[in-house]
Structure formats: structure tokens, C-alpha cells
Amino acid sequence: MSQAAAHHEHEHHDHHPSGITRWLTTTNHKDIGSMYLIFSLIMFFIGGAMAMVIRAELFQPGLQFVDPQFFNSMTTMHALVMIFGAVMPAWTGFANWMIPMMIGAPDMALPRLNNWSFWILPFAFTLLLSTVFMPGGGPAGGWTMYPPLVLQTGAAFPFLIFAVHFMGASSIAGAINIIATVFNMRAPGMTLMKLPLFVWTWIITAFLLIASIPVLAGAVTMLLTDKFFGTAFFSAAGGGDPVMFQHIFWFFGHPEVYILILPAFGIVSAIIPTFARKPLFGYSSMVYASAAIAFLSFIVWAHHMFTVGMPLAGELFFMYTTVLIAVPTGVKVFNWVATMWQSSMTFETPMLFAIAFVILFTIGGFSGLMLGVTPVDFQYHDTYFVVAHFHYVLVTGAVYALMAGTYFWLPKWTGHMYDEGLGKLHFWMSTISVNVLFFPQHFLGLAGMPRRIPDYSVQFADFNMISSLGGFVFGLSQLLFVVVIVKCVKGGAKATDQVWDGAHGLEWTLPSPPPYHSFNTPPAPETIEGGMR
């Protein structure tokens, strides 16, 4: 007993279990953040491998590699893995690493919950990925899980549902933790309107998660009881309604879209001012625009399902609210452009990814606006135009912001500078190939190619071949990303505390790498003021 008491002083700083036990039992925000990020990177490559299967099959007309059922399970799993396994955990990883450091806290508010919310994920995805080897194959009804089709899933069905439950539980726990941390752990003087935008966008994201994930959990639970317990929530023959599932699903699904992109807005709002050496234009309007987008995200859901045949008044309502989102989104883009105006820019890899984000995400925004206009959506819906749209906002949007953020904070995390030459090579290879990959898909969609088909009429052959070639190069380019990260973790030029000469914010006042517990004593109010830009 006395020995334990004697150790107590030390324990806080340098005594923690080593080896696997350290990672299994850790309650440290940086360790958990790293695990989230590594997990997400692995999922990014698993989901990416599935995308390679898809693009290989679509390389030319006819079926060359996989049968249609397996192809459908690839599109379904690719989406589930990328959304729930790659992008969402990556954002939680960034939040874990950065939020305590940004608000002047020692750690997250609920460290044990934090450990648990991470360790649910490997189990969830083991369940999900194992379904590919089950009788009947993996889920193949699309990540949207529309009944009645999803009820035709084989042995994989209950595993799919429970995997979704687990992912949801993990997300909700993570969101609760972030809200608790930001509301309770801010250093004195760190008022809400002084928070970095990444923290702001994450709080809004966390509220979206808490409001929307339980809706998804309810929807998939109803699928489960429809399949196994004789209910008929979504079966017309039993007095239920298959369209009701789509309403419930998209009531979750549209906020989910902003869960994936809002933290990206926060990261880009940190990076552009840093490398422009100029304060972010319109900080408060950025906060209000994020809140407006979050609010609107709850009243636009049916634009994902205009073709189900809603009453005219419903179609008009959802069209008007949808196109209205262009206003706050536009404000954000204009603010970033205004930040660059009359600035003094340099173009390190994080800045390159951030500028590419602004341009390419805006292209995805334009196609989103077009899709929001109901009468034309009757043509665009469920075509490759939609595929092009959501890959522009998710790959060159969310994923680009994740890469920008990784390059931006990697020196802070590891204490080493990454290889700038390789980083730039990664950027240019990715940016050229990602446009070769997704831009032609706009044309395919407009020319009439439906999404989620394993084979197509020969008139679509040329653009599919171009798109596939872009896809293979984009996939290979991501290996460079891993090389840069591994190299940087292993060594490299010593990073200064501030790392970037234009960087402002509390995380840059800590050493690189930061101490195990970020701020054991709250930073001085002057430091907080100095970090405000």
C-alpha cells in the first residue's frame, strides 16, 4: 500500500504499462487518438482495396473478375468501411489528439469511456468484415440498407445490424466525451467564441451524432425484428411501409453527411490562416454558418429520395431547404478565399491539400446544388452523377482535410518534420489522379449510367476506363502517405514547438512532441489571447 502511495507522484508522468497492455488499458487522449488514426488508416486501405475491385471490374464492359452479387457486396462494404471505419474514426482521432491541447486541458473529460469507445471499433469491424466469408456473402443491398432488399441478405444480416449498433455506440460515446470535454475542461479565459474552429465544428458534429445515430440504431433494429421476429414495420404486405425506412434512414443519413464534413471545415479554417499568415476572415460567421448548416441538415433528408413519389408540397419543401444550404456553405468558401486575399502564402503540403479542398469540395457543392433541384434530380438520381458528387465531397472534401490535418499536426505529434518532397509528391499524384478518377463520372451519370451496376452498355466504356485508371493511380499514391507517416514517426529533422511560422493556438505553445498530459496547469490567459487569430 505504502509503495503504491510512494509511486503515485511518478505515475502521472512517466509510469504507464508498456507493450500491448499500454494500448489496451490506456486512458490517455494521445494514445487513444493515435489508435483511432491508425485504425482509420487501416480501414482506409481495406475500403480502398474494395474500391480497386470495383474499378477493376468496371475497367471494361462485360464481367471479368467477380460475379454481380460479390460486386454488390463490394460497393456496400466499401461505403460502410469508408464512412464508419475510415472517416468517422479519423475525426474522433483528431478530436482526441487536438481538442485537449487546443482548449488547454490535460486530457479528455471521460478517459475510461474514451478507451471503451475506441476498443468497440475493432470488434465492430471484425464482425462486419467477416460477413464477406459467410454463406450468401457479405451484405449486398447497399450501405443504405433499404428494405425489402436488405432482408434478402444471407447469414451476414444480423452481423451487419450488430456491427452498425456497435459503430453507433462507439460514435455516441465519443461524442459525449467531446461535449463533456469542451464544456468542462476549457482553460480559464478560453471562452466559447475564442475556441479554435476545429473545436467548434466538432462540438456541432458531436450534437449531430447524438441526435442522429440513435435514429439509425432504431431503423436497423426495426429491420432486425422484421427479419427475425415477425414484425412488419417495412413490409407493405403486413401493413408496414418500405418508404418509411428511407425517411428514418435519411433523417440519420443527412446529418451524417455533415458529421463527415464539418470537422473538415474546422481543419481547413486552421490551416489556411497559418500558411497565409493572416487571421481567418469572419471567425464568428464561420461559427454561425456551421450551426446553420447543422440545423438545416435535419430538414432536408428527403432530397435523397425524391423519386419515391412524395406529394408536390413535400418535394417543394425539401427542394427549397436543400438549396438553402448553399448559402451558409458559400459563406464558408468566401471566407476562406477572403483569408487568402492580400495574405502572404507559402505552399507546404498541408496548405496544398487545404487549397485543393476548397476548390474540389466546392465542385462537389455545385453538383450537390444541382442534385437538390427536384425536377432535375429525377434525371440525376441514382446515376454516376451522384457517385461523382459524393466522392468529390467525401474524398476531395473530408479525406483531403484529413490528409491536410495529418501533415499539419504530424510534426507536433511526432516531434519530427515529415519529408516535404514526398508530401508534395503525394499531393500532386493524388490530386491529378483523383480528378481523373471522379470527374468523368459526372459525364457517365449525365449520359445515363446508373450507379451500383457491375457491367454497363458499351457507350460508357471509355469514361469508365479513364476513371478506373485514375482510381488505380490514386490508390497507389496513398502508399506514399504511409511512407511519409512511417518515416516521420521514425525520425527526421527536429520540429520546433511552433512548427509553422504562421501557426497560432495553444497546441503550438506545447513542446513537439507534447508531454503525456497536455496541460497539467492551465495556460496563462495571455497565452490564450496570443493564440487567438
Note if 254 is an active site residue. Answer: yes
Minimum CB separation of residue 47 from other proteins in Å reads 19
Note if 413 is an active site residue. Answer: no
- How many Å separate Cα 135 from the centre of its chain? 31
Q: Are 59 and 142 in contact (CB under 8 A)?
A: no
Cβ-based nearer residue to other proteins, 308 or 479: 308
Cα 506 from Cα 529, distance rounded (Å): 10
Cα 270 from Cα 206, distance rounded (Å): 19
Minimum CB separation of residue 14 from other proteins in Å reads 41
Cα 363 from Cα 185, distance rounded (Å): 38
- Residue 83, CA atoms < 13 Å, CB-side half-sphere: 22
Cβ-based nearer residue to other proteins, 369 or 425: 369
Note if 362 is an active site residue. Answer: no
C-alpha closest to that of 363 among 472, 441, 305, 291 = 441
DSSP state of 303: G
Catalytic residue among 55, 304, 416, 442: 304
Cβ-based nearer residue to other proteins, 67 or 529: 67
Catalytic residue among 97, 119, 200, 258: 258
User: Residue 164: beta bridge partners?
Assistant: none
Minimum CB separation of residue 424 from other proteins in Å reads 15
C-alpha closest to that of 249 among 166, 144, 377 = 144
Cβ neighbourhood burial of 237 (10 Å; 0-12, 13-18, 19+): exposed
Cβ-based nearer residue to other proteins, 165 or 303: 303
Note if 256 is an active site residue. Answer: yes
Note if 332 is an active site residue. Answer: yes
Cβ-based nearer residue to other proteins, 64 or 520: 64
Catalytic residue among 30, 451, 508, 518: 451
Note if 451 is an active site residue. Answer: yes
Cβ-based nearer residue to other proteins, 146 or 409: 146
| CA-based radius of gyration for the chain | 23
Catalytic residue among 40, 171, 339, 362: 171
Minimum CB separation of residue 357 from other proteins in Å reads 11
Catalytic residue among 55, 165, 186, 332: 332
Catalytic residue among 29, 30, 55, 78: 78
Minimum CB separation of residue 456 from other proteins in Å reads 7
Cβ-based nearer residue to other proteins, 6 or 458: 458
Note if 107 is an active site residue. Answer: yes
Q: Are 146 and 139 in contact (CB under 8 A)?
A: no
Q: Which three cell numbers stand for residue 342?
A: 492580400
Note if 329 is an active site residue. Answer: yes
Note if 380 is an active site residue. Answer: no
Note if 78 is an active site residue. Answer: yes
Neighbours of 529 (CB within 10 A): 10
Q: Which three cell numbers stand for residue 324?
A: 438553402
Cα 56 from Cα 61, distance rounded (Å): 11
Residues 6+ apart with CB under 8 A from 125: 43, 81, 85, 163
Cα 193 from Cα 188, distance rounded (Å): 13
Minimum CB separation of residue 283 from other proteins in Å reads 7
Minimum CB separation of residue 498 from other proteins in Å reads 16
Catalytic residue among 165, 254, 278, 412: 254
* Catalytic machinery residues: 78, 107, 143, 170-171, 254, 256, 258, 269, 303-304, 329, 332, 451
